[in-house]
Amino acid sequence: MQQPTNDHGQDQPSLASASLTADRWLLRVRGPVQVEIVDQQGRRIGPYLEREEDESGRRHSWQGRTQKLHREQGRPTRQPQELPHLFEVSIPGASYQPGHNFTTVMLTQPDIYTCRCRASAPCAVDVYWSAFQAESMLHTIHYQGISLNQQRRAQWVFNTSETYAPTAAAVRPMMTLEEDGRTQEIPPTAILDPNESRDILAPKTTISLVDGKVVITATDNPGGSGVLRTYYTTDGRTFSVYQEPFPLPPEAKTVMAFSVDRNGNREYPGAILPVLGLSEMHLTLTATAGEQKIGPHTVHVSNLDPLSVTGPLAWTTSTDVPWLSIEKTEGQTPDRLTFSVDPGNLEPGIHTGNVIVRSPTPGVVYAERVVPVVLEVKPR
């Protein structure tokens, strides 16, 4: 279990007076999971399950009575059917807002609730349990980065009838991970006091390039819950937790980062640097001695920002050999540059030159791109 990266909440005194009794509880789950809640009477919240009643009025799943009857009659059996777009809310006073990546549940009745999360594919889940009294937020208990998959499921029990002030010492490890018959207790990542629990503003992330290294900083708003994690990517697909400055990878396609605070406020889109991109990074051409101009050849110039929030980039181009002629020397992304080859005065053999593309726009990653051009001139 990952631990907090700041000093909020772990060794604080009591976060709420024991005389304050909550009257509402909010569960927030961030991640592509299904959430189910069951109270002591067996009433539930979650995806709807098709069921039947027998002669006594008791409810059975399709896996029980129906399949047994079908087998006795020699009829085909079918698996219990989950209806993913229908949801059951039988707990009094509860509201349920399921989503693919974010689910919320509001409970208003004191009870002992068993909550379960299950995933259809490997993922990491954040869980936030907040208590309210009237219009006041009392506290939030946070579990961060819970790793789930089809075999590993999370379960936790909240007794909303208890009245205690949550502290690091008082809150027991209420969450367990279950996999292959084994269980593992998971302590809270953080316990947020009323002020931190009311934080609704996401952190602010900045990126800078210093001596070829990527430096990322993140700050939360004054009085906020504090930055928990900062994530970055240089390929637009895989995000990693930022730990310290790192060299800019030569194959980087983008540089972007965002942060999340201890109360679950996630920055979007975060910080993004524009990246000068070319459709060709190396060209090999063939010509015959004495030929006239060959071409034109086209190279597309673009801003590799995947979200298109940094705007167009101005660019200019030049060459360092006389046999390469640039036909379009400047523009603005998205655009294309064209150049031609004139091998007429060149001797047979291998000749090399470069097309240089530059962007004067401030803060551009790879503001200068060099495209090597190899020309093989064959004799007549």
pLDDT digits (tens, 9 = 90+) for 318-361: 999 999 989 888 999 999 999 888 887 888 899 999 999 999 98
If you classify domain 276-378 with CATH, what class do you get? mainly beta
Task: For the sheet with 314-319, list strands across it.
Answer: 283-288, 368-378, 349-358, 314-319, 330-332
CATH architecture of 204-273: Sandwich (2.60)
C-alpha distances (whole Å) from 156 to each of 75, 129, 159 are: 40, 11, 10
- Residue that wins the pLDDT comparison between 12 and 46: 46
Single-letter code of the amino acid located at 311: G
pLDDT of residue 362: 86
Q: What is the DSSP letter of 205?
A: E
Q: Kindly report the pTM of this predicted structure.
A: 0.67
The share of the chain scoring above pLDDT 70, in percent, equals 82
Tell me the pLDDT of the chain averaged across its residues.
81
List the end-to-end C-alpha distance of the chain, in Å, as a whole number.
71
Residue with tokens 């980039």, as numbered in its chain = 313
Residue 249, SS3 per DSSP: coil
Q: Strands, E, within 204-309: which ranges?
A: 204-210, 213-219, 227-233, 240-241, 246-247, 255-261, 271-273, 276-278, 283-288, 294-303
Intervals of CATH 2.60.40.3170 along the chain:
276-378
pLDDT grade for 276, boundaries at 50, 70 and 90: very high
